[in-house]
């Protein structure tokens, strides 16, 4: 199979709603990432490295969702050693995206249910032994995290569309 054959199999373009949903994911994560990064410059906590790491990790994972609707998400970049230019297996991509989206939904559901029914009774705990105990966050903090509730469902929806397009590419009826 040549490179032209592979490009022809992915001729099915993503649905417009899937493209919008994929671009919405980084926008849902951005407020919390920026808020955490702002704490690095204003807070004297020992969690500076953690805030930076969590912000970069969450934005990186959110930006990977764009690969589900872009061509660069179907093939390993050519500059990559050993695997450069190889096609990324669609089933693995869909499986990872569905597991990630489901975990995000589960984490959000646990947070919301625990907040309402108090399954775990304890105060807000930071990272590190020297971190002081904080009161539970109010709306002034939660407003930055509220958009993240859409992260999991959006990833699942875009992954389903990616799987649909991959199934169309594999079908012999084309």
CA 94 to chain centre: 13
Which residue has better confidence, 172 or 129? Answer: 172
**Are residues 14 and 159 in contact, defined by beta-carbon separation less than 8 angstroms?**
no
Looking at residue 16, its pLDDT comes to: 94
Mean pLDDT over the full length of the chain: 82
End-to-end CA distance of the chain: 16
Q: Give the C-alpha distances (Å, rounded to integers) separating 168 from 17, 172, 174.
A: 18, 9, 8
**In the predicted model, is pLDDT for residue 43 greater than 80?**
no
pLDDT digits (tens, 9 = 90+) for 63-96: 999 999 998 888 888 888 888 888 889 999 999 9
Which residue has better confidence, 104 or 127? Answer: 104
Virtual torsion, Cα 20, 25, 27, 31, nearest 10 deg = 160
pLDDT digits (tens, 9 = 90+) for 14-40: 999 999 999 999 999 999 999 888 888
Compute the distance between CA of residue 36 and CA of residue 79 in angstroms, rounded to an integer: 33
**Are residues 10 and 71 in contact, defined by beta-carbon separation less than 8 angstroms?**
yes
Q: Is the pTM of this model over 0.95?
A: no
Q: What is the rounded average pLDDT of the residues 131-152?
A: 79
Q: Which residue is listed with tokens 């969702």?
A: 65
């Amino acid at each position: 199979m040549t490179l032209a054959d592979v490009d022809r199999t992915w001729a099915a373009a993503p649905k417009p709603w899937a493209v919008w949903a994929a671009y919405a994911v980084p926008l849902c994560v951005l407020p919390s990432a920026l808020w955490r990064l702002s704490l690095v410059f204003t807070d004297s906590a020992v969690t500076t490295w953690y805030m930076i790491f969590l912000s970069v990790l969450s934005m990186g994972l959110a930006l990977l969702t764009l690969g589900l609707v872009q061509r660069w998400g179907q093939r390993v970049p050519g500059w990559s050693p050993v695997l450069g230019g190889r096609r990324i297996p669609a089933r693995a991509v869909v499986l990872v995206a569905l597991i990630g989206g489901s975990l995000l939904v589960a984490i959000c559901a646990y947070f919301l249910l625990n907040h309402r029914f108090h399954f775990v009774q304890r105060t807000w705990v930071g990272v590190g032994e020297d971190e002081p105990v904080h009161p539970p966050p109010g709306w002034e903090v939660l407003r930055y995290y509220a958009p993240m509730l859409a992260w999991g469902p959006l990833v699942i929806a875009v992954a389903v569309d990616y799987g649909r397009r991959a199934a169309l590419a594999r079908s012999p009826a084309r």
